Amino acid sequence: MPDWINAVILGVVEGLTEFIPVSSTGHLLLVKDLMGLKDPFWDTFNVLIQLGAILAVVALYFGRFWNVLIRLPSDPKAQRFALAIVVGSIPAAVAGFLLHDAIKTILFESPRVICTALLIGGVLLLIIDRVAPPPRRNDAFNLPVWTALAVGVFQCLALVPGVSRSGATIVGSMLMGVEKKAAAEFSFFLAIPVMLGSFLLDGWKSRHQLTGHNIELVAIGFVVAFIVAIGVIRAMLAIVTRRGYAVFGWWRIAVGVVGLLALQFA
């Protein structure tokens, strides 16, 4: 299969899964293995195209982000939001920087770890969706800094492929009393600095892989992920508002079980 088609397929998978709590990294790695893509470049590709999906959040919420930015010097609410994003990003940024090489070389190469994390995370998501404490906060732009820090600690769990960054932050938010839609939105916002940092770190450490041809492939995946993620974000918010997160829990369980069975009988 031509490399550009591989890039499109992986871009679609990234756009579909980055913001729903099913683990985009886990799905990307499983699909990559199914497609027989053994070149280490494709692991770097999977990290770099995540920024394309993240920019979909910037595009969809640009008006509100711009309002925060222009009010930042004088508005305490804007300052609190900015501080919440910074504080919430610190735990995963520190852990990702310290553990980057170990995670990419060990856990990224274990489909069994990914499938197990998908399965366990799916069960936990079903449970939390039912038993989370009653929501006390319904505005993702107005969360206390201590709540953002707690959610940031949960985000560190997503360093294990298959756990899901959005899943970890959504569960953490709901346990902190954040309403389901607001939890999803804050998960979107918290992804921006973390994934930008991951993009820069992985891009720098893997710069020797980024030849002219490979840069073209990253650009293709980047654009595809951006376009697909625009639609997914809107659809996810509608689903969460009406039905909660159960459908994503069952999705994780199904993929995890099928993956483990395939590994067992391969």
Q: What is the CA radius of gyration of the chain?
A: 18
Structure tokens at 169: 């932050």
Backbone region of residue 177 per phi and psi (left: phi > 0; alpha: psi in -120 to 50; beta: other values):
left
Which residues lie below 8 Å from residue 172, measured CB to CB, with a gap of 6+? Answer: 150, 151, 153, 154, 155
Taking only the tens place, the pLDDT of each residue in 182-198 is 999 999 999 888 888 87
Residue with tokens 């980047």: 222
What was the pLDDT predicted at 25?
81
Does pLDDT of 236 surpass 80? yes
Taking only the tens place, the pLDDT of each residue in 151-189 is 999 998 888 878 888 989 999 999 999 999 999 999 999
Does pLDDT of 91 surpass 80? yes
Q: For the chain, give the percent of residues with pLDDT over 70.
A: 96
Structural contact between residues 237 and 180, judged by C-beta atoms closer than 8 angstroms: no
Structural contact between residues 188 and 135, judged by C-beta atoms closer than 8 angstroms: no
Q: For the chain, give the percent of residues with pLDDT over 90.
A: 57
Does pLDDT of 40 surpass 90? no
- The single-letter code of the amino acid at 156 is C
Report which of 23, 9, 200, 187 is spatially closest to residue 97, judged by C-alpha positions: 200
Does pLDDT of 110 surpass 80? no
Taking only the tens place, the pLDDT of each residue in 68-83 is 999 999 999 999 999 9
Backbone region of residue 117 per phi and psi (left: phi > 0; alpha: psi in -120 to 50; beta: other values):
alpha
Does pLDDT of 99 surpass 70? yes
Structural contact between residues 13 and 34, judged by C-beta atoms closer than 8 angstroms: no
Does pLDDT of 55 surpass 60? yes
Task: Give the angle subtended at the CA of 192 by the CAs of 140 and 133, to the nearest 5°.
Answer: 35
Distance CA 233, CA 235 (A): 6
What was the pLDDT predicted at 79?
94
Least confident segment among 77-86, 100-109, 235-244: 100-109
b/e map 28-45, b = 16+ CB within 10 Å:
bbbbbeeeebeeebbbbb
Structural contact between residues 145 and 83, judged by C-beta atoms closer than 8 angstroms: yes
Average pLDDT on 206-224 reads 88
Instruction: Say what the pTM is.
Output: 0.86
Backbone region of residue 244 per phi and psi (left: phi > 0; alpha: psi in -120 to 50; beta: other values):
left
What was the pLDDT predicted at 204?
81
Report which of 21, 24, 262 is spatially closest to residue 154, judged by C-alpha positions: 21
Q: Cα 88 from chain centroid?
A: 14
